[in-house]
Chains A and B, each alone.
Chain A
C-alpha cells in the first residue's frame, strides 16, 4: 500500500476547523422556557444511559471526521501493488490452437490463459489500452486499443479455443500492425503454451513478453491414420506417437462404422512413434475410426489432451471407375478412355472364332462398339453402332445425315455438331425411355436414358465412318456421356483434412441440395450452382457426412478432419519462444501494477454523507417544520 499523492494528507488538518466549529456550535443556544422542572426530572431519569447519549451527541462529528478522512485519503491516492505484466499500450496474443484445450491445468489451458489475461486487464493502469488478438487458424481481433475494462472482459469472455493449429505468422502480422498504429511504445504479450513455429516468425515492434501456460507434456497421439487401396482390399495405416517423457502402454482400437475391427496394445517408450497396418479389410465404403485409450483402467482419461486420441479415415470403394470396352479394336475409343481422368479402362476382344467372352468381374461401365452380347450385363452401357439388341431395334442404314439438330440437354453441353460429318448411320426407332441428344431427319444419331435400373447411351453410327473423332466435340461428348454413365465421386475422401482446410465438392446433375453434417451435428446446406461447392467450416475434428439430396434419390459421402499435427500434439509447455532473432523467456512479474483505491473511498464518503444527512434531519426536521408552520 502506498500513496501516490501523499502531500494531500496534509488536508487532514481540515479536521481542526471542523472540530473547532463543532465546539463553537456546542455553545448551546439559550432558550427560555416557563419551567425546567419537567426537563430536570426527565433528564434525571435518563442519566443511566448518559454515555450513549454523549456518543450520540458526537455522532455527527465522528461521521464528519470519517468523511473528511475518506476524502483526504482518496486525494492522497492510495494504491496497492498488483503483479502486472504490462501496462501502456498492450497487445495480447491469446493462443487458441488445439493444444490449448489440454487439461493438464484445471480446467483447461485456455481457461487458465483467460484468467491470466483477466488479471492483466485488472492490473491495467488507468490510461493503458489493450488489444486482444485470438490466434487461431485465422487470427481474430477481439477488441482493439480499448481502455474500458468491462469491454475488455466482455471481449475476453467471448473467446473460444479452436481445434486446429494457429497461424502465428498472420497473428504476428496483425499484432505488429496494431503496434505500429499506436502512438505509445507497445508491449506485446503472448499467452501461449508455446506451440509456435520454431523459426520464421517475424520480429515484433515493441517489447515482447511471453506468458507460458500449461504444466505437463502428458500426451499420446494418433499422428496418422490413412487408407490405401491395394489390389484386392484396402489397407489401414495408423501411427501413434508418445509425446510424453515417460513410457506409455496404450490400447489402440479400430472401428469401422462403429463396429470394432481390431484392438492392439502398444508399448511406447518416451518420444517414440510406432506404426501399424491393418490388412484384408472389407472392400466396402465406410468410416474407419482409431481410438487410443488407457490399457489398464477402463474409463480414466488417457492423457491431458483428448483431441488427438481419436482419428478418422474414410474409404470410398469406387474411386477409380472400371470401364470395359468390348470392341474389335477402336483406336479412337481406346485413346479417349486412356486419356479421361479417373477411369480405369479394360478391353475385351472377340476370340478368333468370333465368340465373345467377357470377365465375370463387374465393371462400372460396358462400352460395346459394333458388337453386342445376347445377354447384356446389368450395368450401365454405352452402345456405339451396335446391332439389334434387347433394348432397341436397329433398321437399315441411311446417309441423309446432313440436317442434324443437337437437342438442348445436359449431356450436349458445349457440343458443337456443325463441323461433324457422318457418312452413314443406322436407323433406330428411339425407344420410349430415351431422350434424344443428336437427331437427324431419318433417325437419331445419339440418345440416352434410363431403363431397367441402368443408364444407357447409344450412338447409331460407326465412329470410323465419321469425322467426329477428329473434332473437339468428341472428347466433350464422350466425357459428358461417361460422367453420366459412371458419375465420379463428389470429392476425394481418402485424404483426411486438417482443421480449417477447405473441401471442394463436385455435384452431379440432378442434385438439388447438399447438406453437410458436422461431427457436432451442425448442418450446413448448399444449393449446387455452376461452380463447385467449397466447404470451409472444417473447424471441428471428426467425420463429416455430405448428403446429396436429389428429387428421387439421396446419397451420402463422408470425409474426415483430423488433427495430425505434431506441433499441437506435443503439448509440452515451451520454456521460450523464438521471435525474430531473439528467444523470449517467460516474464517473472517484475513490473508492478498499481491498483488505485480512491473510487472505493469516495464511495464510502458518499455513503456516510448520506447517513449523516439522514441523522441530521432526523434530529432537526420536526423543529424546522414547526418553524415553517408558524411563519
Chain B
C-alpha cells in the first residue's frame, strides 16, 4: 500500500498549501517567448476535460458551438511530465525507505501540486527500455484520485534502460514542458543520451536521484558474492574496512559526477536518500533545488 493513511493526509495538506507552491520556476521566460506581453487577454485554447468551466468563453461557444478556454495574462499553463523509473533496482529498501514507494509518493506529491496549480500533468512509467504506462495529460484537482490510482497500480520490475525509455517518451508528440525524472540512475547504459534528447525537444529537465542509505554505506563485510537484483549479475567481493571506505568514496564520486553533468546541461539535480521523509524532501529539498517554488 503506497498511499496509506499517513501519506494521504500529507498529500491533502500538500494540496492546501499548493496554492502557494508551484511547479517550475521558469514560466516567466516561457511567457515572453510564446505569448508576447499582452496585458490581460493572452489566448484561447481548446477545452480539455477537467478544465475549469468558469474559464470557458461562453460567447465563442455560442457562436461556434465549440468550447474554448480563455487564457488570461497571469495564467500559466505548464506541461509537467513526471517520469518514474520502474526498474527492479528501484524496488530496494525496506518500509519507508523503499525507493520505488518513495518515488511514487514524490510523484503523487508533485502531481498534487501540479494539478492544484492548474497545470497539465503527464506521468510516464519507464520500464524495460520502454514507456510501460502513462497517465494524462490531465488537469484539475478533480483528477487527483485517478492519479493516485494510477500510481498505486505500478510495480518496480524489469530492467532499466533510461536512454531508450526517454527516447520513446520524447518520440511521441507531446507538449514540451518541465520533465522531472525520478530514478536511482543505477543503469548500465547511463541516462545521459536520453536526457539530452529530452532537452533537445525543448523540455526543461529536473533529475531527482533517489538512493537508499544502505546503497551508499552497505552494511556488508567478509567474503561475499554480490547479486544484482535487477540483472542477476554476480560480483565477488572480500569486504574489509578499507574496501568499504573506498566504496563510499566511489559512490560519492559517482554522485558528484552526475551532479556536474547536470549542471553543465542546465538540468536541476537533486540527490535524495530515502532516509529523509518524502514530504520534507518535497517541500524543502525540492524548493532548494528550484524544482518547486
Contact = CB atoms under 8 A, between A and B. Distances in A.
Contact of B240 (A38, A40, A41, A618): A618
A28 B236 contact: yes
B271 to A, nearest CB: 14
A489 B212 CA distance: 112
Contact of A57 (B218, B219, B223, B231): B223
B228 A36 contact: yes
A619 B222 contact: yes
B226 interface: yes
Nearest to A627: B219
Nearest to A35: B186
A551 interface: no
Interface in A465-517: none
B199 to A, nearest CB: 24
A622 B244 contact: yes
A42 interface: yes
Interface string A595-631: 0000000000000000000000011101110110010
B234 interface: yes
A171 B246 CA distance: 77
B247 A623 contact: no
A611 B191 CA distance: 47
B238 to A, nearest CB: 5
Contacts of A32: 226-229
A231 interface: no
Contacts of B247: 38-39, 42
A626 B188 contact: no
Nearest to B240: A619
User: Taking each of A31, A40, A627, which has the highest tally of chain B beta carbons within 10 Å of its own beta carbon?
Assistant: A31
A284 B159 CA distance: 127
B250 A623 contact: no
A56 to B, nearest CB: 8
Interface string B120-139: 00000000000000000000
A128 B250 CA distance: 66
Contacts of B254: 38, 41
Given A26-B223, A623-B219, A623-B221, A35 B89 contact: yes
B75 interface: no
Interface in A17-47: 25-26, 28-43, 45-46
A25 B228 CA distance: 22
Interface string B210-233: 001001001111111111111101
A53 interface: yes
A40 B75 CA distance: 50
B240 A31 contact: no
Grouping DSSP codes into helix (H, G, I), strand (E, B) and loop, the B interface class, with mixed when no group exceeds half, is mixed
A37 B186 contact: yes
Contacts of A622: 221, 241, 244
A4 to B, nearest CB: 41
Contacts of A620: 221-222
B222 A34 contact: no
B235 interface: yes
A53 B235 contact: no
Contacts of A627: 219
Contacts of A36: 226-228, 231, 233-235
Contact of B224 (A31, A35, A38, A618): A31
B87 to A, nearest CB: 9
Interface string A340-352: 0000000000000
Contacts of B161: none
B3 interface: no
A45 B253 CA distance: 13
Contacts of B220: 31, 623
B221 A619 contact: yes
Contacts of A619: 221-222, 239-241
B235 A43 contact: yes
Contacts of A45: 250
A80 B43 CA distance: 107
B26 interface: no
B253 to A, nearest CB: 10
A333 B250 CA distance: 127
Contacts of B223: 25-26, 28-29, 57
A552 to B, nearest CB: 91
Contacts of A30: 224-225, 227, 234
Q: By CB atoms of chain B within 10 A, which of A34, A40, A53, A620 has the most?
A: A34
A45 to B, nearest CB: 8
A53 B223 CA distance: 12
Given A30-B227, A46-B243, 7 more contacts: A31-B224, A33-B215, A34-B212, A35-B89, A36-B233, A41-B254, A622-B244
6 nearest A-B pairs in the assembled complex, by CB-CB distance: A623-B221, A34-B92, A35-B186, A28-B225, A619-B240, A36-B228
15 contacts: A29-B222, A31-B220, A33-B228, A34-B93, A34-B229, A35-B228, A36-B233, A37-B228, A38-B250, A41-B250, A46-B243, A619-B241, A620-B221, A623-B219, A623-B239
Interface of A: 25-26, 28-43, 45-46, 53, 56-57, 618-620, 622-624, 626-627, 630
